Amino acid sequence: MATVEEGPLPYNLWQGESSSSSSSSNPLDAVLFGGMSLLIGVSCRTLLRRTTIPYTVVLLIIGIALGSLEFGSIYRLGKLGNGIRIWADIDADLLLAVFLPILIFEGAFSMEVHQIKKCMAQMLLLAGPGVLISTVLIGAAVKLVFPFDWNWKTSLLLGAILSATDPVAVVALLKDLGASKKLSTIVEGESMMNDGAAIVVYQLFYRMVLGKSSGCIAVLEYLAEGSLGSVMIGLVFGIASLLWLRFIYNDTLTDFSLALTVSYIAYYTAQEEAEASGILTLVALGMVFAMSKDTHRAGGKQSMHEFWEMIAYIANTLIFILSGVIIAQSIFSIGYLDNNTGRSWGYVFLLYIILQVARTIVVFAFYPALCYFGYGLNWKEAIIIIWSGLRGAVGLALSLSIKDASGDPKYLSSETGAMFVFLTGGSVLLTLIINGSTTQLLLSLFGMDALSESEKIMVNYAKHQLLRKAEEFSRICSGSNNPFDWITVGGYATCIKDVCEDTVWPPCTTNHGYLEINDMKTMRVCFLKATREAYWSTFNEGRITESSISVLMESIDEAIDLATQGLHDWNYISTRLKFPGYYKFFSTSVCPPRLTRWFVLKKLQDSCHICSAFIHAHRIARQLLLDYTGKSEYHLQIKRMWLIQ
């Protein structure tokens, strides 16, 4: 990232005390702040576990409170305050380089590749043209509405910082609220991509402010190099890592270490050496790893997810508390520069409204295309996408880069740099508190976080079966020497309380004795998920290869999308069993016979493995579904689900 020589920071409130405080400050105090932040994060997660309040919002508020006590009051926090000051003065580029490789890679790695393919066009629309339109709208509003003496380049620079939703905040929010996977994929993927695109646009306008680039051709070349170059770097690192992992078998420690190492090296290579977008590089790298996660053994795959989830949780905790501290610092810093604090806060609320309007214009401008591509989009989901446009640590770090590089009135004055941090910090604060805390309410209002009627009946039936089995086990174990205490166990098994005794699955909802479409869809999805688990068992037993399990997993994903129409997993598999057209090349005299036999036999071997696993998994899933539903009058209807295969 391009930077200029740092100048003095006259707007720091504690500058006059630096000589006295530095003597008592100990660099090890930074460890105290990190430990306290993690303790606060664990406490918040424990207390908010049964609530719908996102813990990231609470962490931000706590960070603002700590920063306000240290920077804006006569009360000081001692050694903890020294640690807060050390963390608050961290270099913005270093802040991004430490946290982003973990958070962005984890978010991309945890996404479903099948759904990414379906939603790719929607994500690219919002992340490409959407970022440019949003930058122009926000920059124009700042230039025309705000009374700052900024030129168009400076206004558009602030627009670029605020144009993209922050993947750190959005991913953390959606994981807490449990939104649908389709909606989460669109919002998470768009936030990751458009944040990377926004950094490219930010670097472009930053260079223009410093007088380093101009002209349409130069601008287009820079945008193309910054975006496409970033993706290529991520693909190269990802493919090289997968080739490395092919020589390693069942070594999860090496898997973890390599993924973590490559994420940092790839980010540094793109951001510093190639002057591209490190975020786009991490997104491409994470997606490459996500495409290969079906080839891990069950234990290794689960361990990989748990590892990345743990370190992402630690990074989220630190970065949100630190963001609150930096926001508090910027609030009191601008209060020092501008005596009319109320007017400054009025600018923040006005900017918040501008951000929501710009986000609304971008989403509804592409609404027809968003409805056409991928899974489609309805108006409720479009509103959720608009309301999920949170700003977070990435934008705040970019504004800190402006503050650190400001000082030359010819380009960016110190007052302009401080105002950038204040406006960005205020926007982060308002979007996280207002939008972040009300997204769950909006999902509930639209009924997007509730189960369907058939799913509710199925859950109730599962609870009924659990209760019946538990009571049966209690009767079997009854006796004087029995240590089983049903009252104690029942106190923990809260999920099976208040169960309707007459719950039956599958339900009969038509006059003709046939199941409704939604009920049949639910049963098909259950059958397909049971088939998926059977595939995993077969793979873990070593009976099928990595290439075979990838095809089988993809067939389940495709079939779940078409569950309302029937079971279509075999339709997908049958297309993969055919010999591709390029195999004709192997039958020519140009290709050596030994190589021809190897390719043909490899294809036949994989086809046999796939067919064998398909028959075996379907038998297991069919028996599980019949055992679950029992000998009901819908026994024949259930069988018809796989007879049409």
* Residue 643 CA: distances (Å) to CA of 564, 567, 623: 16, 9, 14
pLDDT tens, residue by residue, 430-464:
888 888 778 778 877 877 766 666 667 777 777 77
Helix pair angle (167-177, 436-445), 10° resolution? 40
Q: How many helices (H) and strands (E) does the chain have?
A: 27, 0
Q: Which residue has the higher pLDDT, 541 or 634?
A: 541
Distance CA(203)–CA(223), nearest Å, equals 10
Give the model confidence (pLDDT) of 273-306 as tens digits.
887 778 888 888 888 887 776 555 555 566 777 7
Q: Where do we find the tokens 């064998």?
A: 612
Q: Cβ neighbours of residue 385 under 8 Å, at least 6 residues apart?
A: 126, 183, 186, 187, 190, 363, 377
pLDDT of residue 356: 92
Query: Kind and range of the H or E element at 114?
Result: helix 113-127
Q: How many CB atoms lie within 10 A of CB 472?
A: 10
The yes-or-no verdict on residue 254 having pLDDT over 90 is no
Residue with tokens 């490409």: 128
Q: Which of 34-43, 395-404, 469-478 shows the highest mean pLDDT? A: 34-43
Q: Is the predicted pLDDT of residue 137 greater than 50, yes or no? A: yes
When pLDDT is cut at 50, 70 and 90, the band that residue 7 belongs to is very low
CA distance 600 to 575: 17
User: 494's torsion region: left (phi>0), alpha (psi -120 to 50) or beta?
Assistant: alpha
Q: Which of 70, 73, 75 is nearest to 29 (CA)?
A: 70
Give every CB contact of residue 582 below 8 A, 6+ residues apart in sequence: none
Helix (H, G, I), strand (E, B) or coil at 252: helix
Residue type, 18: S
Q: What is the pTM of this model?
A: 0.76
pLDDT at 17 (0 to 100): 41
**524 Cβ contact list (under 8 Å, min separation 6):** 559, 563, 566, 567, 641
What does the alpha-carbon distance between residue 307 and residue 311 come to, in Å, rounded to a whole number?
6
Place 206 in a pLDDT band, splitting at 50, 70 and 90.
Answer: confident
How far from the centroid of its chain's Cα atoms is residue 353's Cα?
25
More confident residue, 488 or 626: 626
| Bridge partners for 408 per DSSP | 412
